[in-house]
Amino acid sequence: MPVDPELVGRPFPRTEPYLVGREKVREFARAVFASDPSHTDPAAARALGYPDVVAPPTFAMVVQDLTLQQLLAAPDTGIVLERLIHAEQRFRYTRPIVAGDELTAQLSITGLRPFGKGAMVTSEAEITDAAGAHVVTATSVLLVGGEDA
């Protein structure tokens, strides 16, 4: 099945709230070889004006992933995990994610164009905090292989 040409503009619900835990931030920081103390030491983060430890910049992917799971679970998109290649990734930040944040993400497909036998899909997640304020927009460009790819 080819990628649904009507995917741009298809409505998706906001994701359920994701509560950012201090130990999760520390675990993620260690996994990306982060050395800055603001990621692990609450006092260092507070000295910078943050309420708790600061997540590494790419932690936003953990929240965006909830939207990619939505996309993969949606019916009749023509997108299947086995034929997916992550080609590009971008983040645009209003502020860093910090422990204690309760984040939701709004998925939208903002770009779709043919690419070889498949398609190039731009999937955007607008991530906001419990007050509804923008935190980060995460954008993935996905190459979806054709049937013979």
Partner 1 sequence: MSALETETGAVVAERTVHLTREALVRYAGASGDFNPIHYRDDVAARVGLPGVLAHGMLTMGLAVETLVPWLGDAGRIAEYGVRFTRPVVVDAADGADVHVVATVVAASDGFAQIDLTVTQGDTTVLGKARVRVRTD
* Contacts with partner 1, residue ranges (CB under 8 A): 24, 27-36, 38-39, 48, 50, 54-58, 61-62, 65, 86-93, 95-96, 139
**Pick 68 or 112: Cβ nearer partner 1:** 68
**Pick 4 or 64: Cβ nearer partner 1:** 64
**Cβ at position 92, least distance to partner 1 in Å:** 5
**Cβ at position 31, least distance to partner 1 in Å:** 4
The answer to whether the beta carbons of residues 73 and 67 sit under 8 Å apart is no
Neighbours of 4 (CB within 10 A): 18
Q: Which residues contact 55 (CB under 8 A, 6 or more apart)?
A: 20, 25, 28, 29, 39, 96, 97, 98, 99
**Pick 76 or 149: Cβ nearer partner 1:** 149
**Cβ at position 37, least distance to partner 1 in Å:** 9
**Pick 61 or 74: Cβ nearer partner 1:** 61
DSSP symbol at 76: T
User: Using CA atoms, how far apart are residues 92 and 14, in angstroms rounded to an integer?
Assistant: 19
